[in-house]
C-alpha cells in the first residue's frame, strides 16, 4: 500500500513537472492508458483511412510503367497531409528528435498489418544517409519498424539497404519528376542474393508520396532475389 502511494505521488509530480501530450493533437493526456500510449484514443479512432494499393498503383503508373512497379501491396496507417494531426507526429520524429513517436506509431501500424494476410520473412527499413543519421541520432523508418516488430513476430534487418549519396530531403523536392530523379541510383543492397532469395520482404518508411523512394528500394531487393516486396508506411498522401 505504501509503495502504491509512493508511485501515485511520483506520477503526480512527473505530470506536474513534465506533463505528457498526445503525439497527434498535442493536448495534455490525463487518462492513464492514454498517457502510457502517448496518444488520445479519440485521435486514433478518428484517423482517416489511408488510400489502398489500387490507388497507389495508379499513382505509380503516372511516373513509371507497369513492369517497373516493384511494390506488391502497400499498407498505410492513415492518410497524410500537412493539415492533419499526423503531420505533427511525423514532424516531431523527423525534426524534433522524438524517436518514441515513430516507435509508437509503428506499433499502431503493426496492429493494422495483422489485419492483412501477408507473409513477410523480413522487415527492412528504408535507409537514410549515415551523415543524416548522425545528425538526427536515428533512422525514423527503423524506429517505425521496431514498433511494428513489437506487435508482429517478423525479424528486423536494419542495415539491409544502404543510402550511398546524401540528397535533399524529399519534403523539399516539389515535383514528381524531381522526386524520382532525387532517389535514382542512391541505394545499395547490403548482403548476398542468397539472403533474399525467394523471400517476402516488408519495406518500411514514414510517408508515401510519389513512391519514388520505396519503389526504388523494392526494385533493388527484387533484383537481389526477393520474391515479393510489400510496403508499410505511417502516412499515404492523397496527392503527389
Q: Is 118 exposed, middle or buried (0-12, 13-18, 19+ CB in 10 A)?
A: middle
191 and 88 within one domain: yes
- In angstroms, rounded to a whole number, what is the distance separating the alpha carbons of residues 215 and 50? 18
For residues 171-179, average pLDDT: 59
Indicate the range of 133-142, 145-154, 174-183, 212-221 predicted with least confidence. Answer: 174-183
Integer angstrom CA distances of residue 187 from 77, 159, 162: 25, 12, 6
Lookup: cell for 206: 514514414
Domain count, the chain: 2
- In angstroms, rounded to a whole number, what is the distance separating the alpha carbons of residues 226 and 36? 38
137 and 115 within one domain: yes
| CATH code where residue 132 lies | 3.40.50.2020
171 and 76 within one domain: yes
55 and 154 within one domain: yes
149 and 214 within one domain: yes
Task: Count CA within 13 A, CB hemisphere, residue 136.
Answer: 22
19 and 133 within one domain: no
For residues 69-79, average pLDDT: 97
Model pLDDT, residue 33: 79
For residues 111-118, average pLDDT: 92
Sign of CA dihedral 128, 105, 217, 199: positive
For residues 19-45, average pLDDT: 84
Domain residues for the domain of 138 are 48-237
The rounded percent of the chain whose pLDDT value lies above 90 is: 60
For residues 182-189, average pLDDT: 76
pLDDT band at residue 10 using 50, 70 and 90 as cut-offs: very low
Mean pLDDT (the chain) is 86
21 and 108 within one domain: no
Amino acid at each position: 500500500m505504501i509503495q502504491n502511494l509512493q508511485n501515485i505521488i511520483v506520477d503526480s509530480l512527473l505530470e506536474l513537472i513534465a506533463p505528457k501530450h498526445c503525439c497527434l493533437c498535442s493536448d495534455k493526456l490525463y487518462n492513464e492508458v492514454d498517457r502510457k500510449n502517448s496518444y488520445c484514443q479519440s485521435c486514433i479512432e478518428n484517423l482517416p483511412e489511408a488510400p489502398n494499393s489500387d490507388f497507389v498503383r495508379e499513382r505509380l503508373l503516372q511516373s513509371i510503367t507497369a513492369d517497373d512497379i516493384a511494390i506488391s501491396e502497400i499498407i498505410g496507417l492513415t492518410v497524410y497531409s500537412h493539415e492533419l494531426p499526423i503531420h505533427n507526429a511525423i514532424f516531431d520524429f523527423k525534426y524534433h528528435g522524438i524517436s518514441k513517436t515513430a516507435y509508437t506509431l509503428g506499433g499502431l501500424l503493426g496492429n493494422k498489418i495483422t489485419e492483412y494476410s501477408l507473409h513477410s520473412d523480413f522487415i527492412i527499413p528504408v535507409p537514410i544517409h549515415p551523415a543524416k543519421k548522425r545528425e538526427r541520432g536515428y533512422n525514423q523508418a527503423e524506429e517505425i519498424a521496431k514498433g511494428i516488430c513489437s506487435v508482429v513476430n517478423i525479424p528486423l534487418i536494419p542495415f539491409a539497404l544502404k543510402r550511398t549519396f546524401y540528397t535533399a530531403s524529399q519534403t523539399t523536392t516539389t515535383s514528381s519528376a524531381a522526386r524520382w530523379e532525387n532517389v535514382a541510383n542512391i541505394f545499395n543492397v547490403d548482403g548476398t542474393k542468397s539472403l533474399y532469395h525467394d523471400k517476402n520482404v516488408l519495406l518500411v518508411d514514414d510517408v508515401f508520396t510519389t513512391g519514388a523512394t520505396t519503389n526504388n528500394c523494392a526494385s533493388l531487393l527484387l533484383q537481389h532475389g526477393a520474391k515479393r516486396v510489400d510496403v508499410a508506411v505511417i502516412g499515404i498522401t492523397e496527392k503527389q
